[in-house]
Amino acid sequence: MHLPSVASLLLTALPLTFASPTPGKGQSKGLDYYAKKAGLKYFGAATDSPGFRERAPYVEQYPKYDQIMWKSGEFGQTTPTNGQKWLFTEPEQGVFNYTEGNIVTSKARKHGMYLRCHALVWHSQLAPWVEAKQDWTKDEMRKIIVSHVTRVATAWKGQCYAWDVVNEALNEDGTYRESIFYKVLGEEYLTLSFKTAAKVDPKAKLYYNDYNLEWPSAKTEGAQRIVRLLQKNRIKIDGVGLQAHLIAEQPPTLDQHIDAIRGFAKLGVEVALTELDIRLKTPSNPTNLEQQKQAYKNVVGACVQVKGCIGVTIWDFYDPFSWVPHVFEGEGDALLWFEDWSRHPAYDGVVEALTNKTRRW
């Protein structure tokens, strides 16, 4: 992940205030155009502010990057990759910083893009002070969650199409992850987070977001359990985010994607592919690039074919800014634009999926 400077974390900036954007403003024929023609709300790309991307070989590429990101018509939606996470929005207890998040959100407004906001409560990229104390009382933890969700959601109230309220609460077997929040409050931390977000930003769609939900599994069933838990308690939940961090050489099938998406849609919530990238062994070659193309085509095609799936966000679009090589040694080239700005064959796979006439269920 690309982290900001220490100095930027110490800034306490006031939130920007402005009206919600008008999606689609100034768009030309790119992926977002084809997505809307296919019945989706958007095709988008997450992005960071330059403060997160200070990597010398690529600084001179910002004008080209910005042209594709904001002006090409390829994207009609964005998500701040890092700037709204707990580590950066509340680095010290009660000290809030909206600087990095404001950079991306203001650009989304300027260019008329849908804004997905990410993420309010997550065990990772969590400010150290939250985990430094292991003996929080239940009342203390409730106050911490309510304060954080209230302040951060208020900062961007009325600007977010959706909030990822709780992120990655599950283990692979569908049980709850033993985060500091779960250890203290159990399931209550989920209900409290969603209840607070709904109160603060009632017009935003509220999502549970996680990875490895793109095919039927115990983890998918666990996410369905979370949806039912909130519904049973009459707490607002509008959607489930399928992060879709996939592997080109081991992709789910089209039918598996469709089954997973339909499983959530049947619960009455919408679905979005929220962090799509498909990594492969590097250096890439014609074989795994073709596998990647088909994998992108399958997952985007499944979203197109199920009415409950409303949009697709790739997790940035330019390979040098991907998180993948920093986490998975020997893997990368996970996005749609190579380092030299040429497009992956997978770009054409996405277009094929978006222009497929298969009906939406």
Phi-psi region of 49 (alpha: psi -120 to 50; beta: other; left: phi over 0): beta
Catalytic one among 74, 90, 168, 214?
168
Contact yes or no for 208/166 (Cβ under 8 A)? yes
What residues have CB less than 8 Å from 297, skipping those under 6 apart?
346, 349, 350, 352, 353
- Give, rounded to a whole angstrom, the gap between the first and last alpha carbons of the chain: 37
Largest Cα separation within the chain, whole Å, is: 56
Coil, helix or strand for 360?
coil
Per DSSP, helices labelled H in the chain are 6-10, 31-37, 62-66, 86-89, 99-110, 128-132, 138-155, 180-185, 188-200, 218-232, 254-265, 286-305, 324-327, 345-354
Rg of the chain taking only CA atoms, in angstroms: 19
Tell me the CA distances in angstroms from 357 to 28, 37, 295, 354, one per residue in order: 21, 10, 18, 8
Contact yes or no for 320/55 (Cβ under 8 A)? yes
Catalytic one among 275, 329, 339, 352?
275
- How many beta carbons lie within 10 A of that of residue 56, not counting itself? 6
95-110: burial string, b at 16+ Cβ within 10 Å, e else:
ebbbbbbbbbbebbbe
249 annotated active-site: no
DSSP string of 231-259? HHTT----EEEE--EEETTSPPPHHHHHH
172 annotated active-site: no
CA distance 257 to 241: 13
For the annotated catalytic residues, the residue numbers are 168, 275
